[in-house]
Amino acid sequence: MNQRIRGAFDDDEPTLLYRLIPALSVMAGSLTTIVPVIAGIGLLPPFGLLMLLAWRLSQAEAIAIWAAPLLGLFDDLVSGQPTGCSMLLWSLCFIAFDLVDQRLVWRDFWQDWALAAGALAFCLILGRLVASPLGAHVDTVLLAQILVSSLLYPVIVRLVAWIERTRDPA
């Protein structure tokens, strides 16, 4: 039995729901793609990816690195992307963020925003290359989607901060 002996001043172990809330919020963000929205062009940002980036950049330990491919699989199944596309791209983003965390001593909000914008552009461009033929004329819409998604990042960070504040048991 490898149970750790708790001392008088040790924090209580977090509940299962406390640990699942970040993943459930990313899954809820991925589920926004099934909401019927009538639009002339596809500018709907990838809310699942935005939630994942916001959790990873604001609370690094909230979502484990091994959870990115599982959440990516859920996003692939819900959004209609080729299976494995989000799994690979989200995992690569997490690995890149870990490398950045090793190099930088600290980051501020502007650096997080720049990292998120780069990760969004990376995932959307490579997702476009995988999902649609090269002859498709979607580059202008893709650039607009990257811009809208990048500008929406601070709102999603505020939402994640609110979720974090409400889930905090203290």
Is 53 inside a domain boundary? Answer: yes
Q: What is the dihedral of CA 84, 87, 90, 91, to 10 degrees?
A: -120
- Please tell me the total number of residues recorded for the chain in this structure: 170
Is 152 within the bounds of a domain? yes
The answer to whether residue 70 is domain-embedded is yes
Which structure tokens are listed for 132? 């649609």
pLDDT at 1 over 60: no
**pTM for the full model?**
0.87
Residue 11 lies in a domain: no
Give domain status of residue 28, yes or no: yes
6 within some domain: no
Give me the number of domains the chain comprises: 1
Q: Which structural domain, as residue segments, surrounds residue 122?
A: 16-33+44-167
What is the rounded CA–CA span in Å between residue 165 and residue 26? 16
- pLDDT tens string 22-80: 999 999 999 998 888 887 777 889 999 999 999 999 988 889 989 999 999 999 999 88
Rounded CA separation 94/115 (Å): 11
pLDDT at 124 over 70: yes
Whether residue 143 lies inside any domain: the answer is: yes
39 within a domain of the structure (yes/no): no
